[in-house]
Amino acid sequence: MTAGVLVLAELDPAARARLGNRAEGLMDDATAAVRPVLERIRRDGDAAVLAFLREVDGVELTADRLIVEPAVVDAAAASIPAELVAAMAHTARNLERYHRAQLLDEFAIEVEPGVVVGERFPAVRAAGCYVPFGTAIYPSSALMLTVPARVAGVERIVLASGIDPATGEIPAAVLAAAALGGATEIWRVSGTAAVAAWAYGTETLRPVDVIAGPGGPYVAAAKELVRHHVGIDLEAGPSEVLVLALDDFDPDLAAADLISEGEHGATSCGLVVTPDAARAADTAARLAARLAALPADRRDAVQTQLDDGRSGIVVTADAAAAIAFCEEVAPEHVIVHARDADGVARSLRCAGTVCIGAFTPSPAGSYVAGTNHVLPTGGAARHSAGLSVTHFVRRQSFERITREGLERLRPSIEAWSNYEGLPGHLAAIDARLRRVE
């Protein structure tokens, strides 16, 4: 049997943690591997970036080719299928509508006479957008990153991705999507090297204010290590899905949903969680049939997850236990199969995105529905949200106080300043109040 059915109550803590894809070991190994790369690029600049591309990607470049030429970008759209160009336009349109709804308006409020406070939301000056390149090509990620940055008002949007050794170029579809989304600059730089260049800058590559984008453990670890130099979006590592199959669900759909995210790679995570033992067994059989029909590389990726215990089919005592386990895992995607799918979805607090109902598979949102597919993974959904306009703006507070307002505030400022032993605070107030208008 390709996948066994596991009973949650019988799992030991280690096995339970693996089902949640808590892959601390992967991140530990990645952190140790990328740290010297970051330090080398910070010290040696372009030369270290070029060495990384040669040693890791097998690509020989010169510094003058690290940035993609405008003519190459302009020609990209003409070389890809027309139906893909149309799909890109569809996705960009829905993404823009979704992200424009996230824009925040400046506000100001008079909290007492003469004291006005508020917030405004200026965009960061420059954003780095990373599109993974490896076992698959992800032009959809180029749109998911550049569109919200553009909607937010970022002036310099820098996209980076790896080079296809077969062509010596970033895939044309990625270039076309980046241009459509609003990228102002595209780098032929992959993985850790892109993160380092965005954080520290080189002779050719200028740094940015915020780095966004998904990636494997190495990119995730690199982003964590540079976050004291540059802002990062969120913990977006290997893909995850939890299929919450509570009642009257189709086992074949549940199996298909597990594969839909699991096929990304061997470190991904796919779970079906249900209180229905009979349908769980049927799901296992349907999963075996669907796996057999996959291309060998995708089949092997899902099989590795099942063998390692990061993916599987889990039976719980009841629906409440299934929901509680979903909250414990805090997955990137939750797909809700239930009669009251809306009600169940509203009860979920710890998920990157929630796909509600049998006709809402995760690929719909990942590609074209309009929500963003850059989502928190590895349990980060307990405290982080998916990529949005807010990752590309700063919340900037402001205060505007009149003389009369400052006089009203002075007694409390004096009390605070005396208690905390900071006389200069009060002196800054009194210096103003002694002024003759």
Looking at the 3D structure of the chain, how many domains does it have?
3
Catalytic residue IDs: 332-333
Residues 63 and 162 in one domain: yes
- The string of pLDDT tens digits covering residues 170-191 is 999 999 999 999 999 999 999 9
Domain final position from 319, 349, 365:
365
- What is the side-by-side order of every strand in the sheet holding 231-232? 185-187, 156-161, 126-131, 210-212, 231-232
From 204, 231, 258, give the residue that closes a domain.
231
Cα separation, 258 vs 272, in Å, equals 7
* Cβ atoms of 96 and 370 closer than 8 Å: no
| Total number of residues shown for the chain | 437
> Within 10 Å of residue 97's Cβ, how many Cβ atoms?
11
Tell me, yes or no, whether 386 lies in a domain: no
20 vs 31: which has the higher pLDDT: 31
Tell me what pLDDT residue 30 has.
87
Identify whether 373 is part of a domain: no
**Residue 213 belongs to a domain:** yes
Q: Which domain holds residue 126?
A: 27-231
pLDDT, tens digit, for every residue of 205-257? 999 999 999 888 899 899 999 999 999 998 887 889 999 999 989 999 999 99
| Confidence grade of residue 7 (pLDDT, cut at 50, 70, 90) | confident
Mean pLDDT (the chain) is 93
Q: What is the pLDDT confidence band of residue 14, given thresholds at 50, 70 and 90?
A: confident
- Is the predicted pLDDT of residue 20 greater than 70, yes or no? no
37 with 19, same domain: the answer is no
Q: Are residues 70 and 198 in the same domain?
A: yes
Do 274 and 322 belong to one domain? yes
Q: What is the average per-residue pLDDT within 86-95?
A: 98
Does residue 310 fall inside a structural domain?
A: yes
User: 3-class SS at 170?
Assistant: coil
Give 333's strand partners. Answer: 241, 353
Instruction: Report the distance separating Cα 99 and Cα 103, nearest Å.
Output: 7
24: pLDDT strictly greater than 60: no
The answer to whether residues 185 and 40 belong to one domain is yes
> How confident is residue 23, by pLDDT bands cut at 50, 70 and 90?
low
Residue 266: its pLDDT value, please? 85
Q: Give the CATH number, domain containing residue 57.
A: 3.40.50.1980
pLDDT at 248: 85
pLDDT exceeds 60 at position 1: no
Query: What is the amino acid identity at position 167?
Result: T
Does the pTM surpass 0.85? The reply is: yes
Last residue of a domain, one of 231, 248, 266: 231
